[in-house]
Copies of this chain bind each other. A is one copy, B any other.
Amino acid sequence: MTDQKDDVYGDHISHKFNSELNELKTEFLKMGGMVEAQVEQAVKSLIDSDAELAEKTRLKDKEVDKLEKALDEEATLIIARRQPTARDLRLVISVIKMVADLERVGDEAKKIAKLALKLSEEGQAPRGYVEVRHISEHVLHMLHDSLDAFARLDSVQALQIMKEDKRVDEEYQAAARTLLTFMMEDNRNISRCMSVMGVLRALERVGDHACNIAENVIFMVEGEDVRHTPVEEAEKIVGG
């Protein structure tokens, strides 16, 4: 279809269309970088018990929300104006879906920042922060890689992220068990441990969203929807 269009409208339109698609990609990656930093800073504010940073991170969410709306609008306009098909259409629709994922990552960062604020106000000794640090490094890595896989349209890298997601779930389960033990040991730990559990859960969700982005990258590149597909099958599709 794109070729047909080139015949009819000539290179000029096609060139403009390409630059619009590139702009969409760039803006998406900008939003990605923004929520990445937001998660990073939310975790830092927790571990350093830095209320000021937590507050700053919490407020960042507004900018992310704005970018979400702008990207959605831009993607819809491209569809209406350029009527993309095949691979181009997959790209635009995937961006619309992935933008929702990024926005939710921003929400999780906001949640972590709120919990960091609560924990720093209570001012008790940290519990489970080793686990928080560990899982946060893991999911931030996944998020970064998923954006990188999108930037380079690399389905092999995307597949790798799908594999990581299971490991994060296991790490989360182990961490939750550890926190449960702390709670059992001493009632005074309960409230604090519940907050840290909330942080861990938010991080685990960040991993889920990175995984969604990875699935979308595979869809864009391979044209196959690998959601709810066992990793072994996705492996065959990607052929990596």
Residues on A lying within 8 angstroms of B by beta carbon are 1, 62, 65, 68-69, 72-73, 76, 79-80, 83, 85-86, 89-90, 93, 96-97, 100, 180, 183-184, 187, 190-191, 194, 225, 227-228
Residue on B nearest A176 in the bound complex, by CB = B194
How far apart are A172's CB and chain B's nearest CB, in angstroms?
13
Q: For A72, list chain B residues within 8 Å (CB).
A: 225
23 A-B contacts, Cβ less than 8 Å apart? A1-B80, A62-B228, A68-B228, A69-B225, A69-B228, A73-B225, A76-B89, A76-B93, A79-B79, A79-B89, A79-B93, A80-B86, A80-B89, A83-B83, A93-B96, A97-B97, A180-B190, A180-B191, A180-B194, A183-B183, A183-B190, A184-B190, A187-B187
How far apart are A115's CB and chain B's nearest CB, in angstroms?
13
Q: How far is the CA of A60 from the CA of B225 in the complex (A)?
A: 20
How far apart are A103's CB and chain B's nearest CB, in angstroms?
8
Q: How far is the CA of A227 from the CA of B89 in the complex (A)?
A: 24
Q: This chain: how many copies in the complex? A: 2
Q: How far is the CA of A191 from the CA of B225 in the complex (A)?
A: 38
Cβ contact within 8 Å between A227 and B79: no
Q: For A68, list chain B residues within 8 Å (CB).
A: 227-228
Q: How far is the CA of A225 from the CA of B96 in the complex (A)?
A: 14
Q: How far is the CA of A89 from the CA of B92 in the complex (A)?
A: 13
Q: How far is the CA of A234 from the CA of B194 in the complex (A)?
A: 34
How far apart are A90's CB and chain B's nearest CB, in angstroms?
8
Q: How far is the CA of A228 from the CA of B227 in the complex (A)?
A: 28
Residue on B nearest A62 in the bound complex, by CB = B228
Q: For A93, list chain B residues within 8 Å (CB).
A: 76, 79, 96
Q: For A191, list chain B residues within 8 Å (CB).
A: 180
